[in-house]
Amino acid sequence: MGRVFALSPDINIGLGQVPVIIAGPCVIESDDICRRIAGAALAACQKLGLPYIFKSSFDKANRTSIKGFRGLGMENGLRTLAMIKREFGCPVITDVHAPEQCAAVAEVVDILQIPAFLCRQTDLLLAAGSTGKPVNIKKGQFLAPEDMLPVAQKVASTGNERIMLTERGASFGYHNLVVDMRGLVIMSELGWPVIFDATHAVQIPGGLGTSSGGNRAFVAPLARAAAAVGIQGLFLETHPDPDNARSDGPNSLPLEELPKLLKTIKEIHGLVNQSA
């Protein structure tokens, strides 16, 4: 099974297509940081012939601490996303947290993203689907892969079948996530493109007390493993200085390491498709 949908005249997402790369900083920190990351990521993808989508959040509504940096807010954040789209000519994706945000966000971005913690919120899913824009649904850490079928069906009930399902690890005890690679196959069999989130998969939720920790050393191994299993896209949070990133730094991939990883992912994807 597997659907293919067109994001743009140049980008098709789904089975049999080259994997799409969704990458950017966790949260919009500044125009300059976003420009730097978008430019480097786009160049790396263009060199390899991989479609690129810029990702960042205007608001991180689920920060561990009330003191955590949440972003620039919807108005300023959408302005930055529109700027990236205009200057670099790439699609953009961002999170929505409430039904009333969806219509306004859809006027700017190309894909709406449902955060993992909100993936069963019916009104949010329906509002996102009703915009007609593609919807990327992060699988909750608390859900089995097959549980994403009714989740996706909520969006599809609006008549919008442009849906992606993203694996980002499952809770394993306290402060730990594991990735069951079988889940990529199971979700693919549900009929929608599957994306692997290699950076949130190495997160240690709440592991630093007032913020989440992570171990970025495992980003590349897990990304390679997912590509070998078979995915339609790779999601990565990346930053030129992860140790000083304002959100999710411990699990973000250093920007300088992105080209090498993407080259490997494309090579593995090609081998998998050859043997399929």
Specify the higher pLDDT residue, 269 or 60: 269
Which pLDDT belongs to residue 14?
96
Whether residue 209 has pLDDT greater than 70: no
In tens, the pLDDT along 214-258 reads: 799 999 999 999 999 999 999 999 999 999 998 889 999 999 999
Cα atoms in the Cβ-side hemisphere of radius 13 Å centred on 135: 31
| 151/260 Cα distance (integer angstroms) | 35
Alpha helices of the chain — where are they, by DSSP H? Answer: 31-48, 74-88, 102-106, 122-130, 148-156, 182-188, 219-229, 258-275
User: Could you tell me which of 27, 25, 82 has the C-alpha nearest to residue 58?
Assistant: 27
Token reading at 250: 């411990």
Whether residue 39 has pLDDT greater than 60: yes
Query: Would you say 185 and 231 are in contact if contact means Cβ atoms under 8 Å apart?
Result: no
Whether residue 269 has pLDDT greater than 80: yes
Which pLDDT belongs to residue 147?
98
Whether residue 1 has pLDDT greater than 50: no
Q: Domains (ranges, CATH) in the chain?
A: 4-270 (3.20.20.70)
The predicted model gives 15-23 an average pLDDT of 96
172 alpha-carbon distance from chain centroid: 21
Whether residue 273 has pLDDT greater than 90: no
Which pLDDT belongs to residue 2?
60
| 87/94 Cα distance (integer angstroms) | 17
For residue 148, give the 3-state DSSP assignment.
helix
| 1/58 Cα distance (integer angstroms) | 34
Whether residue 210 has pLDDT greater than 70: no
Token reading at 189: 């069999």
User: Do the bridges between strand 92-95 and strand 111-114 make them parallel or antiparallel, or are there none, so unpaired?
Assistant: parallel
In tens, the pLDDT along 146-194 reads: 999 999 999 999 999 999 999 999 999 888 999 999 999 999 999 999 9
Which pLDDT belongs to residue 11?
97
Specify the higher pLDDT residue, 274 or 231: 231
Specify the higher pLDDT residue, 156 or 273: 156
In tens, the pLDDT along 61-118 reads: 887 778 788 888 999 999 999 999 999 999 999 999 999 999 999 999 999 999 999 9
| 242/177 Cα distance (integer angstroms) | 20
Which pLDDT belongs to residue 208?
66
38 alpha-carbon distance from chain centroid: 15
Residues 6+ apart with CB under 8 A from 45: 21, 51, 52, 262
